Amino acid sequence: MTEETYPEIIEKAQKLAQLLKAHPITKRYEESLEVMKGDRDAQGVLEKMVMLGRDLNEKLQGDDSGGPGPAEQMLLKEELDKHPQVQEHIIAQKDYLAMIQKVQELIRDPEKE
């Protein structure tokens, strides 16, 4: 099966891709990615946040192995406060992923909305 078999769907998918790319949420996320690429300190803080999230998730799943303690969490919060671009990136990423997830849900089940 080739793209010629369903040209209308391909055309509409390309239009959807253009709409997503032009959306303010996407632009904000892409700008945030560029800021993060240029800031090694912020990348380190983000990496620590991801690891903390993973550790917290494992604890919620019943894994009681040692994770970051209160002092380590406080230090990470201080680092996060010094790097507002990390906070902005996390929010921009969350918004972008929520938008993409909503689009995927509507593709799977167009009657849902």
Q: Which domain holds residue 44?
A: 33-113
Domain assignment present for residue 52? The answer is yes
Q: Scan for tokens 């997503």, then name that residue.
A: 20
Q: What is the tally of structural domains in the chain?
A: 1
Q: Find the helix packing angle between 24-37 and 7-22, rounded to 10°.
A: 60
The tokens of 95 are what? 């918004």
Domain assignment present for residue 5? The answer is no
The whole-chain average pLDDT of the chain stands at: 87
Domain assignment present for residue 85? The answer is yes
Predicted model pTM: 0.77
pLDDT digits (tens, 9 = 90+) for 45-63: 889 888 877 877 777 777 6
Domain assignment present for residue 9? The answer is no
Domain assignment present for residue 17? The answer is no
